[in-house]
Amino acid sequence: MKSTADQGMTLLEVMVSAVMLAIFMAAFVAIMQLSAKLIKGVDSGGFTASELALARSIATERLNGLASSLAREEPAAFMEIIGATKCLTAQAGWNLANDGSRWSLSNQQLSKELTGTEQKGFIERVCIYPSKYAESATTPGLYVVQAEPKAAGPLLQPLRVLFCRPQNFCLQ
């Protein structure tokens, strides 16, 4: 006579274990693909993870400089800048009167034209977006400067800087 302990797994137990193995393998493959993207730079414009981090930090620093320049700009000149072209691309540049520099997208990286070495970049365009808080003679206005990548993905997200202008009404 055979005991019930020697019969093995039932069909239901085999099916449940096969489903659990499939779910585990799917999660394992997804994590490995994400790790490969971070290491090799797949879907990130050919950047490796360290190059992407460096490019993002350089772009953030230069975006902060651009926001600071725009915050110091005279109201008439600023309205002309955001009125004519709200986006800076490789073809159209912004001329800022106060510091005499011209901001451009050189080699797809936000920079001043007079800077020496260019870094490989991922930015396609830089745009200014006004908020619902518009500036007037007595109140400051809030604006967003956004650097948009060529192709958005999990590793390439837009960079944003919020700035207030005119600066004499804003907290430092």
Q: Per-domain residue ranges for the chain?
A: 49-169
Cα(38)–Cα(155) distance, integer angstroms: 8
φ, ψ at 96 (rounded to 5°): -100, 125
Cα(81)–Cα(94) distance, integer angstroms: 7
pLDDT at position 62: 83
CB 39 within 8 A of CB 157: no
**pLDDT surpassing 90 at residue 80:** no
Residues 6+ away with beta carbon under 8 Å from 89: 105, 124, 125
**pLDDT surpassing 90 at residue 31:** yes
pLDDT at position 121: 64
The predicted-structure confidence for 127-168, as pLDDT tens digits, reads as follows 888 888 877 777 788 888 888 887 777 677 888 988 888 777
pLDDT at position 14: 95
The predicted-structure confidence for 40-75, as pLDDT tens digits, reads as follows 655 556 666 777 777 788 888 888 888 888 887 777
Q: What does pTM read for this prediction?
A: 0.63
